[in-house]
Every structure is written in C-alpha cells, then in structure tokens.
Amino acid sequence: MTIELCDKSQLRWVQPTSTRRAYQLRAENEVVGWLEFQKQRGTLAIAEVQGNSWTFKREGVLRPRITVRAAGSEKNIATFELNWRGGGMLQMADGPALHWDCANFWGSEWSFSLPNGAALLRFRLEFGWMKPSARLLSLNREATVFPALDLLMALAWYLMVLAAEDMVGSTAIAAMG
C-alpha cells in the first residue's frame, strides 16, 4: 500500500516497544516505513519510507541544525535549521524551503508548510503509556505530488521525537533543581 493510496486518517507513527528508540509508520496494520535511532542516547537516526531511506542527525548547540542525507551518503540533501520555539526551516537541496511549525496552542500538532503558508502535512502528537505516537491529520493535495513526501513523513516524526525527548529532559532537570 502506498501513502498516496491509503486512508490518511489511518496513517500513524507508533513505537512497538518502549525499550527501543524504534518506530513504525503504519497504514492501518501495514508497515510502510520506520525510523530507528542508532544509540539509546544520541540523535543519529535512520529512516525508511516506501523504499527510500535517509539519515538524520542533530548538530550544534547554539545554532542547532539537522542534516538530512540519503542513507550511505556523506552529502546533505537537506538541512533543517531549528528555532527557539521548536519549529524551523527545512531547506531542500533541490526544492523549496519549507516551514515546520506548531499548529496549535497546546504544542501537540505540527505541520510542514510551503512558503505561501499552505500546510503540506499536519500531524498530531499523542502519548500512550511510555510510548509516543502521532497521527496524520491532514495531507494537502499539493503534498501528494510533492517529490519529497516520503522524506517529510519521516523527518516530521524525527522532529517530534526529539522535541518530546527534549521536553522530558528539561522537566527532569527542572524537577532536580
């Protein structure tokens, strides 16, 4: 089943087990993608959606950014510049710059948007018992023909996982202080 053909309301990222930082993109009960962090702590992850695979890695402290590479390559195909609110700008090597922003007051919905403001895709972050998940809320018609749709699906989840882990870490530090 391809992402374009599945019922978008059934497309979701899930974590099969809370003991590993490994996730699956499921369309109903079929796995159409996955993302796995290479270490229990760390930001290097490998993702695959519908046969296309990439690596994601967060770099830097004062001006953090995420590099996106085709799996097995040393050349960036995109970079994502984070902003202080958790959003940022994705610059594709061969495509338009896309905005990643929180789409609601509670910080549970996130979207990639075109420069004109049209949201390509929108996810809702959900938390189960010790395991985060996200459901695709909307997929713009333009997104279905967007050449990097598979990449956006994987990168969106990577960004949501990092944000959730950063939030948990910040809460633990605040509680200790």
> pLDDT tens digits for 66-86?
999 999 999 999 999 998 777
pTM (global) more than 0.95: no
Convert 82-109 into a string of H (helix), E (strand) and C (coil).
ECCCCCEEEEECCCCEEEEEECCCCCCE
- Specify if 13 maps to a domain: yes
Please write the tens of the pLDDT for every residue from 17-52. 988 999 999 998 899 999 999 998 899 999 999 999
- Specify if 173 maps to a domain: no
- Specify if 138 maps to a domain: yes
- Specify if 2 maps to a domain: no
Q: What is the CATH number of the domain that holds 82?
A: 2.40.160
- Specify if 175 maps to a domain: no
The domain of 76 spans 8-164
- Specify if 172 maps to a domain: no
Please give the angle made by the CA atoms of 25, 29 and 31, to the nearest 5 degrees.
35
Number of domains within the chain = 1
**pLDDT the model gives residue 100:** 95
- Specify if 145 maps to a domain: yes
- Specify if 1 maps to a domain: no
Helix (H) or strand (E) holding 159: helix 149-176
Exposure b/e, 89-108, CB count within 10 A at least 16 = b = bbbbeeeeebbbbbbeeeee
Per-residue pLDDT at 170 exceeds 80 = no
Write the DSSP symbol of residue 19: T
Per-residue pLDDT at 7 exceeds 90 = no
Residue that wins the pLDDT comparison between 62 and 157: 157
